[in-house]
Amino acid sequence: MALDNQKFGATRERLDSMILPEVGCTAKARECAIKRIETMGLPHRRDEYWKYTRPDTLIQPVAPTAAVFDSNEPLIFGELDRLKIVFVDGLFNGDLSDDLSLDGVQIDRLEDICCQKNHWAEEFYGTLEARGQSHVERPLAALNTAYAGDGVVIRVTGKLSKPISLIYIHESEVSDVFLHHVVRVDAGAEATILENGPAAARFNKCMEIDIADTGVLHHVRAQGRDHERRAVTHMFARLGKESVFKTFTLTANGVLTRNEMVVELTGDDATAHVSGAALGDGDFHHDDTVFITHNAVNCESRQVFKKVLRNGATGVFQGKILVQPGAQKTDGYQISQSLLLDDDSQFLAKPELEIYADDVVCSHGSTSGAIDDEALFYLRARGVPEGKATDLLTLAFLAEAVDEIERVDLREEINGRLAGWLERRRG
Protein backbone atom coordinates (compact mmCIF):
# COMPACT_ATOMS: atom_id res chain seq x y z
CA MET A 1 0.00 0.00 0.00
CA ALA A 2 1.19 3.47 -0.86
CA LEU A 3 0.52 4.82 2.60
CA ASP A 4 2.37 2.00 4.28
CA ASN A 5 5.25 2.42 1.90
CA GLN A 6 5.45 6.10 2.72
CA LYS A 7 5.13 5.53 6.42
CA PHE A 8 7.62 2.70 6.76
CA GLY A 9 9.95 4.33 4.29
CA ALA A 10 10.09 7.42 6.50
CA THR A 11 10.49 5.23 9.57
CA ARG A 12 13.44 3.36 8.03
CA GLU A 13 15.04 6.61 6.97
CA ARG A 14 14.75 7.99 10.47
CA LEU A 15 16.09 4.86 12.17
CA ASP A 16 18.98 4.67 9.75
CA SER A 17 19.94 8.25 10.53
CA MET A 18 20.47 7.46 14.21
CA ILE A 19 23.10 5.73 16.25
CA LEU A 20 22.13 3.63 19.24
CA PRO A 21 23.83 4.92 22.41
CA GLU A 22 26.22 2.45 24.01
CA VAL A 23 24.60 1.71 27.31
CA GLY A 24 24.89 -1.83 28.48
CA CYS A 25 22.05 -2.50 30.88
CA THR A 26 19.39 -0.62 28.93
CA ALA A 27 20.46 -2.24 25.67
CA LYS A 28 17.73 -4.85 25.83
CA ALA A 29 15.00 -2.29 26.48
CA ARG A 30 16.33 -0.24 23.59
CA GLU A 31 16.34 -3.20 21.22
CA CYS A 32 12.75 -4.00 22.17
CA ALA A 33 11.81 -0.38 21.56
CA ILE A 34 13.28 -0.49 18.07
CA LYS A 35 11.26 -3.62 17.35
CA ARG A 36 8.13 -1.79 18.49
CA ILE A 37 8.90 1.11 16.16
CA GLU A 38 9.54 -1.21 13.25
CA THR A 39 6.15 -2.80 13.81
CA MET A 40 4.22 0.42 14.42
CA GLY A 41 6.02 2.75 12.07
CA LEU A 42 6.59 6.36 13.02
CA PRO A 43 3.54 8.65 12.93
CA HIS A 44 2.21 9.69 9.58
CA ARG A 45 -0.11 12.60 8.98
CA ARG A 46 -2.83 10.19 7.88
CA ASP A 47 -2.77 8.44 11.26
CA GLU A 48 -5.96 9.11 13.19
CA TYR A 49 -4.05 9.99 16.35
CA TRP A 50 -2.15 12.66 14.40
CA LYS A 51 -5.13 14.09 12.59
CA TYR A 52 -4.74 17.56 14.07
CA THR A 53 -0.96 17.75 14.38
CA ARG A 54 1.47 17.14 11.55
CA PRO A 55 4.27 14.86 12.72
CA ASP A 56 6.57 15.41 9.72
CA THR A 57 9.04 17.77 11.37
CA LEU A 58 9.16 15.57 14.46
CA ILE A 59 10.36 12.52 12.55
CA GLN A 60 12.40 13.87 9.63
CA PRO A 61 16.05 12.80 10.00
CA VAL A 62 17.42 16.32 10.44
CA ALA A 63 15.72 18.63 12.89
CA PRO A 64 14.60 22.02 11.58
CA THR A 65 16.78 24.72 13.12
CA ALA A 66 15.42 26.90 15.90
CA ALA A 67 16.90 30.24 16.85
CA VAL A 68 17.80 30.62 20.51
CA PHE A 69 15.40 33.07 22.08
CA ASP A 70 17.07 36.21 23.31
CA SER A 71 15.29 37.46 26.39
CA ASN A 72 16.24 39.30 29.52
CA GLU A 73 13.40 37.61 31.38
CA PRO A 74 14.93 35.35 34.02
CA LEU A 75 14.07 31.65 33.91
CA ILE A 76 11.03 30.56 35.88
CA PHE A 77 11.31 29.06 39.41
CA GLY A 78 14.58 31.00 39.87
CA GLU A 79 13.66 32.29 43.31
CA LEU A 80 12.61 28.92 44.72
CA ASP A 81 14.67 26.75 47.01
CA ARG A 82 15.14 23.65 44.86
CA LEU A 83 17.60 21.02 43.76
CA LYS A 84 18.73 21.97 40.27
CA ILE A 85 19.57 19.41 37.59
CA VAL A 86 20.64 21.18 34.42
CA PHE A 87 20.83 19.86 30.87
CA VAL A 88 22.35 21.98 28.11
CA ASP A 89 21.16 20.94 24.67
CA GLY A 90 20.27 17.59 26.16
CA LEU A 91 23.49 16.90 28.03
CA PHE A 92 23.71 16.83 31.79
CA ASN A 93 25.83 19.73 33.02
CA GLY A 94 27.45 19.05 36.39
CA ASP A 95 28.81 22.56 36.79
CA LEU A 96 25.41 24.20 36.50
CA SER A 97 23.65 21.51 38.53
CA ASP A 98 23.50 21.21 42.30
CA ASP A 99 24.99 18.32 44.24
CA LEU A 100 22.50 15.55 43.55
CA SER A 101 22.27 14.36 47.12
CA LEU A 102 19.20 15.15 49.13
CA ASP A 103 17.56 13.35 52.05
CA GLY A 104 14.83 11.00 50.91
CA VAL A 105 15.85 10.66 47.29
CA GLN A 106 18.41 8.86 45.19
CA ILE A 107 19.23 10.54 41.89
CA ASP A 108 21.44 8.98 39.23
CA ARG A 109 22.18 9.80 35.65
CA LEU A 110 20.76 7.38 33.15
CA GLU A 111 24.22 6.19 32.15
CA ASP A 112 25.12 5.53 35.80
CA ILE A 113 22.47 2.88 36.27
CA CYS A 114 24.58 0.57 34.18
CA CYS A 115 27.51 0.84 36.57
CA GLN A 116 25.53 -0.73 39.37
CA LYS A 117 24.36 -4.29 39.50
CA ASN A 118 20.61 -4.64 39.82
CA HIS A 119 19.94 -0.93 39.79
CA TRP A 120 16.30 -0.29 40.76
CA ALA A 121 15.66 1.68 37.54
CA GLU A 122 16.60 -1.20 35.25
CA GLU A 123 13.22 -2.83 35.53
CA PHE A 124 11.40 0.45 34.84
CA TYR A 125 13.32 1.80 31.86
CA GLY A 126 11.10 1.41 28.82
CA THR A 127 8.60 -0.71 30.76
CA LEU A 128 5.92 1.88 31.38
CA GLU A 129 6.44 3.27 27.89
CA ALA A 130 5.86 -0.21 26.41
CA ARG A 131 2.80 -0.64 28.62
CA GLY A 132 1.47 2.73 27.41
CA GLN A 133 1.41 1.45 23.82
CA SER A 134 -1.43 -0.96 24.55
CA HIS A 135 -4.45 1.08 23.41
CA VAL A 136 -2.88 3.62 21.10
CA GLU A 137 0.48 3.50 19.39
CA ARG A 138 2.96 6.09 20.56
CA PRO A 139 5.97 5.38 18.38
CA LEU A 140 7.80 8.62 19.20
CA ALA A 141 7.96 7.46 22.80
CA ALA A 142 9.47 4.16 21.71
CA LEU A 143 11.94 6.13 19.60
CA ASN A 144 12.88 7.95 22.77
CA THR A 145 13.40 4.76 24.76
CA ALA A 146 15.65 3.46 21.99
CA TYR A 147 17.79 6.51 21.45
CA ALA A 148 17.68 8.60 24.65
CA GLY A 149 21.18 9.96 25.19
CA ASP A 150 20.78 11.25 28.69
CA GLY A 151 18.34 11.65 31.54
CA VAL A 152 18.01 11.02 35.24
CA VAL A 153 16.48 8.30 37.32
CA ILE A 154 14.94 9.52 40.54
CA ARG A 155 13.89 7.28 43.41
CA VAL A 156 11.93 9.07 46.09
CA THR A 157 12.00 7.25 49.42
CA GLY A 158 10.85 9.97 51.82
CA LYS A 159 9.11 13.32 51.95
CA LEU A 160 11.42 15.75 50.17
CA SER A 161 12.28 19.10 51.73
CA LYS A 162 12.46 20.86 48.37
CA PRO A 163 11.46 20.34 44.76
CA ILE A 164 13.70 18.63 42.24
CA SER A 165 14.05 21.02 39.35
CA LEU A 166 14.97 19.82 35.85
CA ILE A 167 16.19 22.71 33.75
CA TYR A 168 16.63 22.41 29.99
CA ILE A 169 18.84 25.04 28.42
CA HIS A 170 18.86 25.53 24.68
CA GLU A 171 22.09 26.87 23.18
CA SER A 172 22.49 25.31 19.75
CA GLU A 173 20.22 26.17 16.85
CA VAL A 174 20.50 22.64 15.49
CA SER A 175 20.22 20.58 18.67
CA ASP A 176 18.12 17.43 18.35
CA VAL A 177 17.67 15.98 21.80
CA PHE A 178 16.28 12.82 23.38
CA LEU A 179 15.98 12.79 27.17
CA HIS A 180 14.49 9.96 29.18
CA HIS A 181 13.75 10.13 32.89
CA VAL A 182 12.46 7.50 35.28
CA VAL A 183 10.77 8.49 38.52
CA ARG A 184 9.79 6.06 41.22
CA VAL A 185 7.95 7.26 44.32
CA ASP A 186 8.01 4.69 47.10
CA ALA A 187 5.11 3.98 49.44
CA GLY A 188 4.38 6.97 51.63
CA ALA A 189 7.01 9.14 49.94
CA GLU A 190 6.26 12.56 48.51
CA ALA A 191 8.02 14.79 46.00
CA THR A 192 7.59 17.77 43.73
CA ILE A 193 9.32 17.75 40.36
CA LEU A 194 9.67 20.90 38.27
CA GLU A 195 10.68 21.14 34.64
CA ASN A 196 11.40 24.20 32.59
CA GLY A 197 13.30 25.47 29.61
CA PRO A 198 13.10 25.13 25.83
CA ALA A 199 15.67 22.28 25.81
CA ALA A 200 16.58 22.11 22.13
CA ALA A 201 15.66 22.97 18.56
CA ARG A 202 13.85 19.63 18.54
CA PHE A 203 13.15 17.94 21.83
CA ASN A 204 11.83 14.44 22.43
CA LYS A 205 11.35 13.75 26.10
CA CYS A 206 9.93 10.79 27.90
CA MET A 207 9.24 10.50 31.61
CA GLU A 208 8.20 7.20 33.15
CA ILE A 209 6.61 7.57 36.55
CA ASP A 210 5.76 4.80 38.95
CA ILE A 211 4.00 5.81 42.15
CA ALA A 212 3.68 3.09 44.77
CA ASP A 213 0.75 2.80 47.18
CA THR A 214 0.16 6.06 49.10
CA GLY A 215 2.97 7.83 47.25
CA VAL A 216 2.47 11.46 46.21
CA LEU A 217 3.98 13.24 43.23
CA HIS A 218 3.42 16.82 42.19
CA HIS A 219 4.75 17.88 38.82
CA VAL A 220 4.79 21.41 37.41
CA ARG A 221 6.30 22.16 34.06
CA ALA A 222 6.84 25.34 32.07
CA GLN A 223 7.57 24.97 28.39
CA GLY A 224 8.20 28.25 26.78
CA ARG A 225 10.41 31.02 25.55
CA ASP A 226 11.81 29.92 22.20
CA HIS A 227 9.42 30.66 19.35
CA GLU A 228 10.85 28.19 16.85
CA ARG A 229 11.40 25.16 19.06
CA ARG A 230 9.64 21.85 18.51
CA ALA A 231 8.85 19.34 21.21
CA VAL A 232 7.17 16.01 21.62
CA THR A 233 6.92 14.79 25.19
CA HIS A 234 5.44 11.72 26.80
CA MET A 235 4.61 11.08 30.38
CA PHE A 236 3.70 7.54 31.40
CA ALA A 237 2.42 7.33 34.95
CA ARG A 238 1.26 4.28 36.86
CA LEU A 239 -0.50 4.90 40.14
CA GLY A 240 -0.76 2.51 43.05
CA LYS A 241 -3.35 2.32 45.81
CA GLU A 242 -4.26 5.66 47.44
CA SER A 243 -1.50 7.39 45.56
CA VAL A 244 -1.74 10.93 44.23
CA PHE A 245 -0.34 12.36 41.03
CA LYS A 246 -0.91 15.97 40.04
CA THR A 247 0.70 17.44 36.98
CA PHE A 248 0.39 20.88 35.43
CA THR A 249 1.99 22.20 32.25
CA LEU A 250 2.31 25.78 31.09
CA THR A 251 3.12 26.12 27.41
CA ALA A 252 3.87 29.48 25.88
CA ASN A 253 5.36 29.87 22.42
CA GLY A 254 6.91 27.10 20.35
CA VAL A 255 6.07 26.38 16.76
CA LEU A 256 5.10 22.80 17.61
CA THR A 257 4.44 21.13 20.93
CA ARG A 258 2.79 17.78 21.45
CA ASN A 259 2.43 16.65 25.06
CA GLU A 260 1.11 13.15 25.55
CA MET A 261 0.11 12.15 29.05
CA VAL A 262 -0.70 8.53 29.67
CA VAL A 263 -1.92 7.74 33.15
CA GLU A 264 -3.04 4.41 34.51
CA LEU A 265 -4.76 4.14 37.86
CA THR A 266 -3.95 0.59 38.96
CA GLY A 267 -4.57 0.78 42.71
CA ASP A 268 -7.88 1.54 44.43
CA ASP A 269 -8.58 5.06 45.70
CA ALA A 270 -5.87 6.71 43.61
CA THR A 271 -6.09 10.30 42.36
CA ALA A 272 -4.73 11.75 39.12
CA HIS A 273 -5.08 15.39 38.11
CA VAL A 274 -3.69 16.39 34.74
CA SER A 275 -3.95 20.03 33.77
CA GLY A 276 -2.45 22.65 31.53
CA ALA A 277 -2.58 26.23 30.37
CA ALA A 278 -1.31 27.23 26.95
CA LEU A 279 -0.73 30.62 25.39
CA GLY A 280 -0.32 30.72 21.64
CA ASP A 281 0.45 33.49 19.22
CA GLY A 282 0.87 33.30 15.46
CA ASP A 283 2.31 30.05 14.09
CA PHE A 284 2.07 28.38 17.51
CA HIS A 285 0.70 24.84 17.41
CA HIS A 286 0.04 23.11 20.68
CA ASP A 287 -1.40 19.66 21.26
CA ASP A 288 -2.36 18.06 24.56
CA THR A 289 -3.12 14.40 24.15
CA VAL A 290 -4.24 12.67 27.32
CA PHE A 291 -5.19 9.06 27.97
CA ILE A 292 -6.35 8.09 31.42
CA THR A 293 -7.14 4.48 32.22
CA HIS A 294 -9.14 3.59 35.30
CA ASN A 295 -8.18 0.07 36.26
CA ALA A 296 -9.16 0.06 39.93
CA VAL A 297 -12.04 0.92 42.21
CA ASN A 298 -12.95 4.36 43.55
CA CYS A 299 -10.31 6.35 41.72
CA GLU A 300 -10.60 9.99 40.74
CA SER A 301 -9.20 11.61 37.62
CA ARG A 302 -9.42 15.23 36.46
CA GLN A 303 -8.31 16.81 33.22
CA VAL A 304 -8.43 20.60 33.05
CA PHE A 305 -6.98 22.24 29.95
CA LYS A 306 -7.24 25.87 28.93
CA LYS A 307 -5.75 27.53 25.89
CA VAL A 308 -5.58 31.16 24.86
CA LEU A 309 -5.01 31.55 21.13
CA ARG A 310 -4.38 34.62 18.98
CA ASN A 311 -3.13 35.63 15.56
CA GLY A 312 -3.95 32.33 13.91
CA ALA A 313 -2.55 30.04 16.62
CA THR A 314 -3.80 26.46 16.81
CA GLY A 315 -4.66 24.48 19.90
CA VAL A 316 -5.45 20.77 20.00
CA PHE A 317 -6.89 18.64 22.77
CA GLN A 318 -7.38 14.90 22.56
CA GLY A 319 -8.48 13.56 25.89
CA LYS A 320 -9.71 10.13 26.75
CA ILE A 321 -11.01 8.45 29.85
CA LEU A 322 -11.07 4.67 29.65
CA VAL A 323 -12.90 2.92 32.46
CA GLN A 324 -12.04 -0.77 32.47
CA PRO A 325 -14.45 -3.50 33.57
CA GLY A 326 -14.58 -3.58 37.34
CA ALA A 327 -13.32 -0.03 37.83
CA GLN A 328 -16.46 0.84 39.78
CA LYS A 329 -16.98 4.12 41.63
CA THR A 330 -14.78 5.87 39.11
CA ASP A 331 -15.03 9.65 39.20
CA GLY A 332 -13.72 11.06 35.94
CA TYR A 333 -13.86 14.69 34.91
CA GLN A 334 -12.57 16.35 31.81
CA ILE A 335 -12.81 19.93 30.58
CA SER A 336 -11.00 21.56 27.69
CA GLN A 337 -11.65 25.15 26.78
CA SER A 338 -10.17 27.71 24.49
CA LEU A 339 -10.34 31.46 24.47
CA LEU A 340 -9.98 32.64 20.90
CA LEU A 341 -8.83 36.24 20.80
CA ASP A 342 -9.51 36.58 17.07
CA ASP A 343 -11.24 34.81 14.18
CA ASP A 344 -8.01 33.38 12.73
CA SER A 345 -7.15 31.11 15.64
CA GLN A 346 -8.59 27.66 16.04
CA PHE A 347 -9.14 25.04 18.70
CA LEU A 348 -9.62 21.38 17.78
CA ALA A 349 -10.91 19.13 20.51
CA LYS A 350 -11.66 15.44 20.66
CA PRO A 351 -12.98 14.38 24.06
CA GLU A 352 -13.60 10.65 24.46
CA LEU A 353 -15.13 8.46 27.11
CA GLU A 354 -15.00 4.69 26.94
CA ILE A 355 -16.69 3.04 29.88
CA TYR A 356 -17.01 -0.64 30.73
CA ALA A 357 -18.25 -0.34 34.30
CA ASP A 358 -21.76 0.62 35.36
CA ASP A 359 -21.27 2.46 38.63
CA VAL A 360 -19.20 5.44 37.50
CA VAL A 361 -19.47 9.21 37.23
CA CYS A 362 -17.75 10.63 34.17
CA SER A 363 -18.26 14.04 32.64
CA HIS A 364 -16.60 15.94 29.89
CA GLY A 365 -16.99 19.31 28.26
CA SER A 366 -15.27 21.34 25.62
CA THR A 367 -15.88 24.94 24.59
CA SER A 368 -14.43 27.66 22.43
CA GLY A 369 -15.28 31.24 23.12
CA ALA A 370 -14.27 34.85 22.88
CA ILE A 371 -13.82 37.45 25.60
CA ASP A 372 -17.17 38.16 27.28
CA ASP A 373 -18.27 41.60 26.03
CA GLU A 374 -20.46 42.27 29.05
CA ALA A 375 -17.62 41.60 31.47
CA LEU A 376 -15.22 43.65 29.35
CA PHE A 377 -17.58 46.62 29.35
CA TYR A 378 -18.12 46.31 33.09
CA LEU A 379 -14.38 46.50 33.74
CA ARG A 380 -13.90 49.39 31.31
CA ALA A 381 -16.82 51.29 32.81
CA ARG A 382 -14.90 51.13 36.09
CA GLY A 383 -11.89 52.71 34.46
CA VAL A 384 -9.80 49.66 33.58
CA PRO A 385 -8.28 50.22 30.10
CA GLU A 386 -9.34 47.75 27.42
CA GLY A 387 -5.98 45.94 27.16
CA LYS A 388 -5.63 45.50 30.90
CA ALA A 389 -9.28 44.43 31.17
CA THR A 390 -8.76 41.82 28.45
CA ASP A 391 -5.71 40.49 30.31
CA LEU A 392 -7.66 40.25 33.57
CA LEU A 393 -10.41 38.26 31.85
CA THR A 394 -7.84 36.07 30.10
CA LEU A 395 -6.10 35.25 33.38
CA ALA A 396 -9.52 34.57 34.90
CA PHE A 397 -10.21 32.12 32.09
CA LEU A 398 -6.92 30.30 32.75
CA ALA A 399 -7.39 30.32 36.52
CA GLU A 400 -9.31 27.04 36.69
CA ALA A 401 -6.32 25.21 35.24
CA VAL A 402 -3.67 27.09 37.22
CA ASP A 403 -5.62 26.54 40.43
CA GLU A 404 -5.01 22.82 40.00
CA ILE A 405 -1.47 23.48 41.27
CA GLU A 406 -1.52 22.95 45.00
CA ARG A 407 1.54 24.92 46.07
CA VAL A 408 0.75 28.62 46.24
CA ASP A 409 4.30 29.75 45.38
CA LEU A 410 4.33 27.63 42.23
CA ARG A 411 0.90 28.91 41.27
CA GLU A 412 2.14 32.46 41.64
CA GLU A 413 5.20 31.74 39.51
CA ILE A 414 2.95 30.44 36.75
CA ASN A 415 0.52 33.35 37.06
CA GLY A 416 3.43 35.77 36.88
CA ARG A 417 4.56 34.20 33.61
CA LEU A 418 1.06 34.28 32.17
CA ALA A 419 0.59 37.95 33.08
CA GLY A 420 4.02 38.83 31.68
CA TRP A 421 3.32 37.07 28.42
CA LEU A 422 0.01 38.89 27.99
CA GLU A 423 1.51 42.24 28.93
CA ARG A 424 4.35 41.87 26.41
CA ARG A 425 1.87 41.19 23.66
CA ARG A 426 -0.12 44.25 24.62
CA GLY A 427 3.06 46.27 23.99
Q: Which amino acid is at 308?
A: V
Q: Which is nearer to other proteins, 388 or 425 (CB)?
A: 388
- Residues paired with 322 in a beta bridge: 293, 354
Q: Which is nearer to other proteins, 354 or 403 (CB)?
A: 403
Minimum CB distance to other proteins, residue 339 (Å): 11
Chain residues 162-221 in contact with other proteins, contact rule CB under 8 A: none
Within 8 A by CB and 6+ apart from 420, the residues are: 73
Within 8 A by CB and 6+ apart from 41, the residues are: 4, 7, 8, 10, 11, 139
Q: Which is nearer to other proteins, 263 or 405 (CB)?
A: 405
Q: Which is nearer to other proteins, 356 or 378 (CB)?
A: 378
Among 19, 117, 382, 408, binds other proteins (CB under 8 A): 382
Instruction: Give the interface size with other proteins as a residue count (CB under 8 A).
Output: 22
Q: Which is nearer to other proteins, 131 or 380 (CB)?
A: 380
Minimum CB distance to other proteins, residue 410 (Å): 18
Binding mask 383-412 for other proteins (x = CB under 8 A): xxxx-xx--xx-xxx-xx------------
Using CB under 8 A, which of the segments 36-44, 53-61, 139-147, 382-390 binds other proteins?
382-390
Minimum CB distance to other proteins, residue 261 (Å): 24
Within 8 A by CB and 6+ apart from 58, the residues are: 43, 140, 202, 204, 230, 232, 256, 258
Minimum CB distance to other proteins, residue 379 (Å): 7
Q: Which is nearer to other proteins, 301 or 394 (CB)?
A: 394
Which is it for strands 83-88 and 91-92: parallel, antiparallel or unpaired?
A: antiparallel
Minimum CB distance to other proteins, residue 236 (Å): 32
Minimum CB distance to other proteins, residue 389 (Å): 8
Q: Which is nearer to other proteins, 289 or 415 (CB)?
A: 415
Q: Which is nearer to other proteins, 165 or 390 (CB)?
A: 390
Minimum CB distance to other proteins, residue 374 (Å): 5
Chain residues 352-381 in contact with other proteins, contact rule CB under 8 A: 373-375, 377-381
The residues of the shown chain that bind other proteins, judged by CB under 8 A, are 373-375, 377-386, 388-389, 392-393, 395-397, 399-400
